[in-house]
Structure 1
């Protein structure tokens, strides 16, 4: 998907940057420039990068987001990344930058009905394997006598 970027300024110093499309090597320069330009504006105290419409994020895009965070922190500005789609969120989590960029800890995936049934089925199969293995009675002494 073709890259685009919108910028929304509020009077209270909050700027929201909303990239859309693929944030890859070809699109990273406009994103990096927008983040850094926003942070260089003296009256900006908070930057939000809204990834709701980002469909792909590579290491160059992650680098731009992290560089923006580091600049913001060094200048005492607030900076956060919000609304990453599932695939983008996974990339941020796997690279270890999710918490630093979003301020939130990754949450485990919810257990759906299908997942819960598969886990119960797996446990049941494991229980049957244990029950059908040869008896090991007497191999281990009980610590209680």
Structure 2
């Protein structure tokens, strides 16, 4: 049996009771570790660092992957400053309960592992679809 529960604006008493029930049966629970449109929307809204937002938007707009040279601005060859922003939003989402703490970053840096990156790609096709939907339909347009 599989049960999916989504509760919008629960009362504090209901939330407390539900969390207690889930905690009691935690060994039987399977968490959903993937990206969906709602999680992607929350991630995009919380990602306020301009360079990180631009990288994410470019990766999505280009079908899931972008070369670092395509991201560099004319007078700025550095792409520094975005990795921390992505990590902070990922941690904040776990703290706020938007997703599980094991959720992987939607972006993967391409390159040798240290030093300059060669580009970025999105985690997988499902993640690309979720972020495409989130970026194409912001909450005020829905």
Larger RCO (alpha carbons 8 Å, 6+ apart): 2
- Select the structure that is richer in strand: 1
- Select the structure that is richer in helix: 2
Q: TM-score range by the shorter chain?
A: under 0.3
TM-score normalized by structure 2? 0.28
